[in-house]
């Protein structure tokens, strides 16, 4: 589908619904990738003609989702509502060209005409289709309908769906302007896409029928029809249409669940598009590889296990100060207000590299650092208490002594001091590991003991041992 002669212009055209849906996010991503791949432009248009639903908050929610995902549009955002005059001008042109007509049917007449059309085996036609209203009649309330071909084959070439065949007898004379003078969706989309110079329309396949209607309007206006690519919707893990019962729907929910934007981009790109067997790839790779021709024709299924493993990869890759900031944010979000203190930041700085391998999300990572953040004094759990025999307490006191004299709390140093201690005591890790883990972690999940030493540092390790052994 790559066209070298003209610059590719794609667009994402969401109707503000209050949040950026995961399916919309993927549509935006595909448009962004294709524009980047071809060196073209990616435009954003907010389809805010439904004034009641298009509140500033609903519009902001879309931008918030796109910003978080890192999908920036090129150039000014277009607000569909502000282009109403352009939509009306197009209708004037269609009326002049005899490709639209004023229709004065009442609701009852329209119902009757629809019945009649159904019986005759075609879509709705108005009795006003071939009539010329008088100037006086035109003062009366009326809609303006499109005057399409009555019974002709119509072929839509779609980069994903292939050649899709329609017949214009199944496409009604759709309303272009309502009786209050406002433009309808199919008209506005055509006029805006044309005026914005859109060359490729990549969107959900729920719009495939609209593509047929829209292509007729383009042709009637004497405009080139853009290339279409209708992508199958995302389904839930069970294969059913994605719905609330499958879990997170909004991009913001995924942010809150602790997924990284780059992981979402990677996972969503892979959802319905593939490049060989590659599962993990950078933005640069995706941009280099992405072609609309490789979008799958079958619906894709959301797979949380796969998303988790992709996210785990990007957590491991995450630059350490950025990861620190993200985990700090996740901790703050759960109400841990002391996390910004410089000492706590230092603890996190030491701990994150030791535990990040085990996390699939930032939320899990926030759990995995808890052992290092808990404040003394904290009690021992029953299991640990049960392990505190006289022999063990004596051994822990000797460990306390060894650790007090030890200076190297790096990972190698911690490994070394522990290894030496076990050798001197003539015991294996199994003898002292569980009790030590209980004492040092307060029952929270914790990594290997030597990592716990490095994470806590000398003062805190000794203090935790003190509380358990000497008090």
Q: Which residues bind ligand GLU (CB under 6 A)?
A: 13-15, 47, 189, 203, 207
Q: How far apart are the first and last CA of the chain?
A: 74
Nearer to ligand GLU, 215 or 450 (CB): 215
Answer for the pair 58, 16: CB distance below 8 angstroms, yes or no. Answer: yes
Nearer to ligand GLU, 229 or 446 (CB): 229
| Nearest partner of 383 among 341, 460, 455, 442, judged by Cα | 442
- Least distance (Å) from ligand GLU to the CB of residue 7? 20
Contacts of 415 (CB under 8 A, 6+ apart): 450
* Residue 437 Ramachandran class (φ > 0 left, ψ -120 to 50 alpha, else beta): alpha
Q: Which of 41, 72, 96, 244 is catalytic?
A: 244
- Least distance (Å) from ligand GLU to the CB of residue 115? 30
- Least distance (Å) from ligand GLU to the CB of residue 45? 8
Nearer to ligand GLU, 13 or 171 (CB): 13
Nearer to ligand GLU, 16 or 438 (CB): 16
Nearer to ligand GLU, 184 or 461 (CB): 184
| Nearest partner of 332 among 348, 317, 314, judged by Cα | 348
- Least distance (Å) from ligand GLU to the CB of residue 47? 4
* Joined tokens for residue 352: 């994150």
How far is the C-alpha of 41 from the C-alpha of 139, rounded, in Å? 44
- Least distance (Å) from ligand GLU to the CB of residue 59? 13
* Joined tokens for residue 57: 């908050």
Nearer to ligand GLU, 35 or 189 (CB): 189
CA 127 and chain centroid, separation: 47
Q: Could you tell me the maximum CA-CA distance found in the chain, to the nearest angstrom?
A: 108
96 is annotated as an active-site residue = no
42 pairs with which residues across the strands?
Answer: 10
| Nearest partner of 464 among 410, 456, 342, judged by Cα | 456
How many other CB atoms are there within 10 angstroms of residue 234's CB atom?
A: 22
**For the chain, what's the residue count?**
471
| Nearest partner of 317 among 372, 277, 275, 260, judged by Cα | 260
As annotated, the active-site residues are: 244
């Amino acid at each position: 589908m790559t066209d070298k002669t003209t610059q590719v212009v794609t667009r994402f055209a969401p109707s503000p619904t209050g949040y950026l849906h995961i399916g919309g996010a993927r549509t935006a991503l595909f448009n962004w990738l294709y524009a980047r791949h071809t060196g073209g432009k990616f435009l954003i248009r907010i389809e805010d003609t439904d004034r009641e639903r298009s509140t500033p908050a609903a519009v902001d929610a879309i931008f918030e989702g796109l910003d978080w995902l890192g999908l920036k549009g090129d150039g000014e955002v277009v607000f569909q509502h502000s282009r109403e005059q352009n939509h009306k001008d197009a209708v004037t042109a269609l009326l002049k060209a005899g490709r639209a007509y004023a229709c004065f049917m009442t609701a009852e007449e329209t119902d009757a005409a629809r019945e009649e059309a159904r019986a005759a085996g075609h879509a709705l036609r108005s009795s006003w289709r071939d009539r010329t209203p008088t100037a006086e009649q035109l003062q009366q309330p009326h809609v303006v309908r499109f005057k399409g071909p009555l019974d002709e084959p119509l072929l839509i070439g779609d980069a994903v769906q292939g050649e899709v065949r329609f017949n214009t007898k199944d496409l009604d004379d759709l309303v272009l302007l309502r009786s209050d003078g406002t433009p309808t969706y199919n008209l506005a989309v055509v006029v805006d896409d044309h005026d914005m110079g859109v060359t490729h329309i990549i969107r959900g396949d729920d719009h495939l029928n609209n593509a047929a209607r829209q292509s007729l309007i383009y042709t009637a206006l004497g405009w080139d029809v853009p290339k279409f690519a209708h992508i199958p919707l995302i389904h839930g893990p069970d294969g059913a249409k994605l719905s609330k019962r499958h879990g997170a729907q909004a991009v913001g929910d995924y942010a809150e669940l602790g997924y990284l934007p780059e992981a979402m981009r990677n996972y969503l790109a892979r959802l319905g598009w593939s490049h060989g067997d590659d599962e993990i790839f950078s933005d640069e790779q995706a941009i280099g590889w992405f072609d609309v021709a490789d979008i799958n024709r079958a619906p894709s299924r959301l797979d949380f296990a796969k998303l988790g493993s992709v996210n785990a990869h990007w957590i491991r890759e995450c630059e350490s100060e950025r990861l620190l900031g993200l985990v700090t944010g996740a901790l703050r979000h759960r109400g841990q207000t002391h996390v910004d203190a410089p000492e706590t930041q230092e603890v996190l700085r030491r701990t994150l590299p030791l535990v990040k391998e085990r996390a699939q999300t930032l939320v899990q990572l926030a759990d995995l650092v808890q052992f290092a953040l808990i404040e003394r004094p904290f009690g021992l759990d029953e299991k640990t208490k049960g392990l505190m025999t006289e022999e063990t307490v004596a051994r822990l006191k000797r460990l306390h002594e060894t650790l007090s004299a030890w200076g190297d709390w790096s990972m190698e140093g911690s490994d070394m001091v522990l290894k030496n201690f076990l050798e001197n005591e003539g015991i294996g890790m199994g003898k002292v590991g569980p009790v030590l883990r209980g004492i040092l972690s307060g029952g929270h999940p914790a990594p290997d003991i030597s990592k716990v030493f490095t994470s806590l540092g000398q003062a805190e390790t000794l203090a935790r041992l003190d509380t358990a052994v000497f008090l």
